[in-house]
A and B are shown apart, each in its own frame.
Chain A
Amino acid sequence: MKYIDEYRDRGSIEKCSQRIAEAVTGPWTIMEICGGQTRSIAKHGLESLLPSEITLLHGPGCPVCVTPQSILDHAMEIASNPEVVFCTFGDMMRVPGTNTDLAHIKAEGGDVRIIQSPMEALNLARENADKEVVFLAIGFETTAPANAMALYQSKQQGIKNISFLVSQVLVPPAMESILNSPHSKVQGFLAAGHVCTIMGFEEYEPIAQRYQVPIVVTGFEPLDILMGIDMVVRQLEEGRHEVENQYSRSVQREGNLAAQKILNEVFEVIPKQWRGVGEIPSSGLGLKSVYRHLNAALRFPQKIIYEPLSTNCISGQVLQGLKKPNECEAFGKECTPDSPLGATMVSSEGACAAYFHYQNFQA
């Protein structure tokens, strides 16, 4: 399969691993930002192909993991409303709010639908004219353009019975937040290829310069990730700190201008809460005032606001690369995918779930 097979070719992967081993001299700590990359690293056992000098840290790039508990509680409150058809991406069904999750809301009679594309929400609104359709619009820059298009079309078409519960987050401010931490161990980044496909990588250049950290835009297949690591290692070894693009088959420096245009039409940058991390300035997207009438948070004001649960979950530290999942005392004991304490144990892109599924004991 084109763009898959050649990036899973065993011979190329062995050569790349060898190249990294030959280049590396001293301990380097590299963070992959994206949960999709974390999953790929775990699924393909890539850490076993790296020299011991390299430590990979898993970043905050799992959209499910960083969605605040309060948004989930609000989502479940809305989904319990018998007048509402609530739609969401599949990943969100099992993420715990304070008391329950969307899968349980559905089991209790809530009309919760999994959809593949936000535009399906518009069809649901047309098909269910006597109901309110609410879409949980979450994610990074990757999901934002499609969500923005659904909002734009809803406004253009004057659909009255649709609204959006928005919790969009942005990657570069999170990277800066991690680098600003006095406890940060990150010396280089693999930036998320699909985020950069949308946004380009110009905005990473000041970060690389300011914090003197190499950033390599990287894809998701095993060879992509090893090539990205190789490029970061070479910069670290040579004392460089630039933005390089491993994922050139998809990413241009300026990104996808059409996608950015629709983002700018619908969203504006706002401060944003990240689950387990706290508020990061300018790290979210909120609806512009002309889209206020499509804001589900206003149409269905939250009635119950819970206190954040106090557990021994360290998912916030995992998301910031301060700890690895298996450094948590609860990992694999009180906290498993069947009974997760934190969102990082739920999503397939969550670092804890990836560790649990693929590395819970040594092969």
Chain B
Amino acid sequence: MKPPPQNSDSTPGESCPAPLASDDKILLAHGGGGRLMHQLIESIFRPAFQNPELETHHDGAVLDFPSDKLVMTTDSYVVQPLIFPGGDIGSLAVNGTVNDLAMCGARPLYLSVGFILEEGLPVSTLRTIANSMKISAQESGVHIVTGDTKVVAKGNGDGIFLNTTGVGAAHPFLRSHPDQIQPGDAILISGDIARHGIAVLAARENLEFDPPLQSDCASLSSLVQKLIKAKIQIRCLRDLTRGGLATGLIEMAGSSKLKFTIDENRIVVHEPVQGACELLGFDPLYIANEGCFVVVVAPDDAKRAVEILRKEQNSSVPDIIGKVEKATSPHVVLKTSVGSTRVLDMLSGDQLPRIC
């Protein structure tokens, strides 16, 4: 359908503004609460996030909730470039918050989304991101039920900032928390590591790798639900986002006051990612992931849990990477691939590309 022509001379109220074309730019007025903002919502957000709760056209969403306990989490997303190999800020914002709920053992149900748009952002980019959010939400089975849009002046933003808040139904019996971890438990990983951080860095810095590196950005909810359904005795779940595998393990060891020992030989880093890390002087253990988690399980359930993860992931990469032991001081020990051992420590600041 051909959109009606723009009529800038029309008196307000006489005609609706034309739908947003893909080559349009976001204007400050798109955040002003008036006709243009309404048009933005109707032409981009509502078609993308369509669901019964949103269709009430109210200030808030009235939600059905099939559980005595709810889990709630929020996260903000700032990434450059906005669109990267394997994902974009939209899929990141949906999957990231869904995964936070999943790590609490909750079944994700609803999301809110706050858009902070920078004046001048191409509408086509916003449309791509909204569509990506739609797909990620569908894959995770969550509804985006309410939202907000603000526009900041050119130069005061970075294209788009997103905030998503998620609520999910807590499992009646599962309590995923570091204080549930016990000596003897097994540490499992669900996938290969370091792909997201390196893919985004490569895209941002125009580093060309052949084949191109892809982010692992994905929902982890169904994987976790499979483990729960199989009655795996889950002690703690942790997705390995900023700070990567090492930081996730250090945090869990610290909170549980136990020693974690992991085996480098059982941790998979895909070769292009390893190559990029070697080139830049980065340690893949500290690089961000967006589709990978660690789960600590009772020792008797470890093999069965790995089988489930491998079957669901359709790969042999998920594995038991280590075990939990008593310790006088909590820490994480890496058995290196060359046969030595070293302690993993928190990084100070970000990893920076080394000089030579």
Which residues of A pack against B, CB within 8 Å? 1, 4, 8, 10, 13-14, 36, 42-46, 48-49, 63-64, 89-94, 103, 114, 116, 138-140, 142-143, 194, 222-223, 336-338, 347-349, 356-363
Contact B356 A140 (CB under 8 A): yes
Contact B340 A93 (CB under 8 A): no
Task: State whether A356 and B275 are in contact (beta carbons under 8 Å apart), knowing that A91-B354, A94-B352 are contacts in the complex.
Answer: no
Contact A1 B275 (CB under 8 A): yes
Bound form: Cα–Cα A143–B340 in Å: 31
Please pick, from A48, A142, A338, A358, the residue contacting B356 in the complex, using a CB distance under 8 A.
A142
Bound form: Cα–Cα A163–B336 in Å: 44
Contact A338 B355 (CB under 8 A): no
Contact digits for B317-356, partner A, Cβ 8 Å, 1 yes 0 no: 0000000000001010100111111110101110111111
Bound form: Cα–Cα A43–B274 in Å: 15
Q: Which residues of B contact A46 (CB under 8 A)?
A: 338, 340
Task: State whether A36 and B341 are in contact (beta carbons under 8 Å apart), knowing that A1-B275, A44-B336, A348-B281 are contacts in the complex.
Answer: no
Contact A89 B345 (CB under 8 A): no
Please pick, from B271, B329, B341, B355, the residue contacting A89 in the complex, using a CB distance under 8 A.
B355
Q: Which residues in chain B, 240-281, are within 8 Å of chain A measured between CB atoms?
A: 271, 274-275, 278, 280-281
Q: Which residues of B contact A93 (CB under 8 A)?
A: 352
What is the chain A residue whose CB lies nearest that of B339?
A: A10
Could you jot down 7 A-B contacts, CB within 8 Å?
Answer: A103-B349, A116-B280, A138-B355, A337-B348, A349-B355, A361-B331, A363-B341
Bound form: Cα–Cα A356–B347 in Å: 10
Nearest Cβ distance between residue B154 and chain A, in whole angstroms? Answer: 18
Please pick, from A13, A92, A347, the residue contacting B338 in the complex, using a CB distance under 8 A.
A13
What is the chain B residue whose CB lies nearest that of A36?
A: B356
Contact A90 B352 (CB under 8 A): yes
Contact A1 B271 (CB under 8 A): yes
Contact A48 B352 (CB under 8 A): no
What is the chain B residue whose CB lies nearest that of A221?
A: B338
Bound form: Cα–Cα A362–B281 in Å: 25
Task: State whether A143 and B341 are in contact (beta carbons under 8 Å apart), knowing that A116-B207, A348-B281 are contacts in the complex.
Answer: no
Bound form: Cα–Cα A103–B336 in Å: 33
> Which 10 A/B pairs are nearest by Cβ-Cβ distance?
A45-B340, A90-B352, A337-B348, A90-B353, A142-B356, A363-B341, A45-B342, A89-B355, A363-B333, A222-B338
Bound form: Cα–Cα A114–B207 in Å: 13
Nearest Cβ distance between residue A150 and chain B, in whole angstroms? Answer: 14
Q: Which residues of A contact B271 (CB under 8 A)?
A: 1
Q: Which residues of B contact A348 (CB under 8 A)?
A: 281, 351-352, 354
Interface of B is mostly: loop
Asked if B205 CB lies within 8 Å of chain A CBs, one says yes
Q: Which of B271, B281, B355 has the most CB atoms of chain A within a 10 A radius of its CB? A: B355
Which residues of B pack against A, CB within 8 Å? 205, 207, 271, 274-275, 278, 280-281, 283, 329, 331, 333, 336-343, 345, 347-349, 351-356
Contact A358 B355 (CB under 8 A): no
Task: State whether A1 and B354 are in contact (beta carbons under 8 Å apart), knowing that A10-B339, A356-B345 are contacts in the complex.
Answer: no
Contact A49 B354 (CB under 8 A): no
What is the chain B residue whose CB lies nearest that of A46?
A: B340
Contact A64 B343 (CB under 8 A): no
Bound form: Cα–Cα A64–B336 in Å: 27
Nearest Cβ distance between residue B32 and chain A, in whole angstroms? Answer: 29
Nearest Cβ distance between residue B209 and chain A, in whole angstroms? Answer: 13
Please pick, from B278, B331, B339, B347, the residue contacting A14 in the complex, using a CB distance under 8 A.
B339
Bound form: Cα–Cα A140–B355 in Å: 10
Please pick, from B278, B331, B336, B355, the residue contacting A45 in the complex, using a CB distance under 8 A.
B336
Bound form: Cα–Cα A273–B356 in Å: 20
Bound form: Cα–Cα A176–B84 in Å: 49
Q: Which residues of B contact A49 (CB under 8 A)?
A: 338-340
Contact A89 B342 (CB under 8 A): no
Task: State whether A349 and B354 are in contact (beta carbons under 8 Å apart), knowing that A337-B348, A363-B333 are contacts in the complex.
Answer: yes
Bound form: Cα–Cα A43–B280 in Å: 16
Contact A116 B353 (CB under 8 A): yes
Contact A13 B339 (CB under 8 A): yes
Supplied contacts A36-B354, A46-B340, A194-B356, 10 more A-B pairs, CB within 8 Å = A1-B274, A13-B338, A14-B339, A46-B338, A63-B356, A91-B352, A94-B352, A116-B205, A338-B348, A363-B343
Bound form: Cα–Cα A348–B347 in Å: 10
What is the chain B residue whose CB lies nearest that of A61?
A: B356
Bound form: Cα–Cα A143–B353 in Å: 14
Nearest Cβ distance between residue A112 and chain B, in whole angstroms? Answer: 12
Q: Which residues of A contact B336 (CB under 8 A)?
A: 43-45
What is the chain B residue whose CB lies nearest that of A348?
A: B354
What is the chain A residue whose CB lies nearest that of B282?
A: A348
Q: Which of B331, B353, B354, B356 has the most CB atoms of chain A within a 10 A radius of its CB? A: B356
Nearest Cβ distance between residue B264 and chain A, in whole angstroms? Answer: 10
Q: Which residues of A contact B352 (CB under 8 A)?
A: 90-91, 93-94, 114, 348
Task: State whether A360 and B343 are in contact (beta carbons under 8 Å apart), knowing that A1-B271, A8-B338 are contacts in the complex.
Answer: yes
Bound form: Cα–Cα A8–B329 in Å: 30
Bound form: Cα–Cα A64–B331 in Å: 29
Q: Which residues of B contact A36 (CB under 8 A)?
A: 354, 356
Bound form: Cα–Cα A222–B338 in Å: 8
Contact B342 A90 (CB under 8 A): no
Contact A94 B342 (CB under 8 A): no
Nearest Cβ distance between residue B175 and chain A, in whole angstroms? Answer: 31
Contact A89 B353 (CB under 8 A): yes
